[in-house]
Amino acid sequence: MSSGQKLQVLASCTWKVLLDLMTDLELPTSLQLVVIPFSPATARDLQALRRCAEADKAEKDLERLLKMPVEPDLTLPDGRNALQVSAHSGSTNAARLLLEARASIDSKDPRGMSILGIACETGSASVAQVVVEAGHCLDAVSPTGDTPLSIACGKGHLNVVRLLLAAGANKNRANNEEASPLWRASFEGQLEIVQELLHHRANTNQQDRAGKSPCWVASSNGHLDVLRLLLEERADINAVDATGTSPVWFAARQGYLEIVRHLANTKACLNTANRTGATPLWIAASRGHLRMVQLLVMLRANLDQTRPPTDTSPLWVASANAHLPIVRLLVEAVADVSKADHSGTSPQEIASLNGHVDLTRFWNGLRTRTG
C-alpha cells in the first residue's frame, strides 16, 4: 500500500481502527496524521442544524451536532447558514453556541444582509447583543447601504437602537439614497427612536438624495409628534427638496391641517412656491381641500399669488376645477375675482368654458349682486 493510500484510509478511520492499523506497520516509521476538522454532513444533519438554530431551547441537540463536529457554517437548503437562521429567529442561545464553535460572524445571507443586520431587522436585541459582543462590525452595510442602526430605526426596534447607539454605531451613516437613521425613523413616525437619536445628537437637517430632510418626511407623512421634536431641536423648517417643495407645501397638498398649523406657528413661510410655481394655497385650492384653504386663509396666506407661466391664481384654479365651496370661501376672503390668467381668461370665464353649471350660476349671481 502506498503512502498516499495509507493517508486516505487513515483519514476515514476511527481511532480504534487507527490503533489496529498501527500494529501492522514496520517500526520505526514516520506517520503523517491528517485531522479532518468536520464530519461530512448528511441531509438529516442539515435539517437538525436548522431546527436547532431556530429553536432557542435546543442547546443540547445543537451542542451534540457541533461536537461531531458538524461545520457551523454549512449552507442550508434555503441558502442561509445556522447563525443567520438563529439571528432571524431570535435564538440567542443558539447564536451564542454557534459563535463559540467559530461560526463566521462576517457571513451574509442570500440577500447580502449581515448577521447583525438580520437581528436588527427582526428586532432581536438579545441576539444583537451577543453578536456585538463577539465583535461584529457595527456599521456593516446591506446591499441598500443601510447599517444595522438604520435598519432598526426603519423597523421601529427601540431596544436594538439603544443597544447600537450605546455601542458606538454611527448615528449619521446614510444609505445608498443618502437617507440617515434619523431620516428613516422620521419617515416611519418612530417617535421614541427619533427621541433617542436626537439625544445622541443626530443631524436634524441631513437630506436624502432627493433633498428631503427628516423634517420634510415627517411633515409629508403626517407625523406631528415627530415634527414637534425635530423643530424643538432647531431643524430647518423651510428646507426645500430637489423640486423646491417645502414641508408646509407638501403638507398642504396632503391636507394635513395640524401639520400646517404647527409649521405656521413656528414661522414657516406659507407663500413659498415650488419649481412648478404653485404655492401651498394654490395646490390646496386645486385639489379641493376646503378645510386646508380655510386654514391658510386664516393664517393670511397670499390669496392672489399666481402660478407661472400661466398666471393662474388659487381662485382661478378652484373655479376651473369646479370646487364651488372653495371659490365661495376665497371670494368671501376678498380674493381678486377679476384676476385673469396669461390668456386673459377670468375665474368666471374658465368655469363657463369648462361647463361647470353650478359655478357659472354662482358667478352670475355674484355679478348680479355686485352690480
> Is the pLDDT higher at 38 or at 92?
92
Residues 245 and 278 sit within 8 Å (Cβ to Cβ): no
Q: How far apart are CA 151 and CA 156, in angstroms?
A: 9
Residues 81 and 52 sit within 8 Å (Cβ to Cβ): no
DSSP result, 95-121: HHHHHHTT--TT-B-TT--BHHHHHHH
pLDDT, tens only, 40-88: 767 887 888 888 888 877 778 888 888 877 888 889 999 999 999 999 9
> Is the pLDDT higher at 20 or at 174?
174
Return the exposure string of 220-256: e unless at least 16 CB atoms fall within 10 Å of the residue's CB, then b. bbbbbebbebbbebebbbebbbeeebbbbbbbbbbbb
Structural domains in the chain, CATH included, are 42-136 (1.25.40.20), 138-242 (1.25.40.20), 260-370 (1.25.40.20)
Residues 77 and 84 sit within 8 Å (Cβ to Cβ): no
Residues 171 and 192 sit within 8 Å (Cβ to Cβ): no
pLDDT, tens only, 283-300: 999 999 999 999 999 999
Going by C-alpha positions, the residue among 247, 286, 252 that lies closest to residue 267 is 247
pLDDT class for 18, splitting at 50, 70, 90? low
pLDDT class for 33, splitting at 50, 70, 90? low
Would the pLDDT of 17 be above 70? no
Give 289's contacts (C-beta < 8 A, 6+ positions apart): 252, 255
Secondary structure of residue 307 in the 3-state scheme: strand
Task: State what percent of residues in the chain have pLDDT above 90.
Answer: 78
pLDDT, tens only, 318-330: 999 999 999 999 9
Stated pTM of the model? 0.85
AA identity, residue 175: N
pLDDT class for 36, splitting at 50, 70, 90? low
Would the pLDDT of 2 be above 60? no
Q: How far apart are CA 342 and CA 182, in angstroms?
A: 44
pLDDT of residue 65: 80
Secondary structure of residue 338 in the 3-state scheme: coil
pLDDT, tens only, 175-212: 999 999 999 999 999 999 999 999 999 999 999 999 99
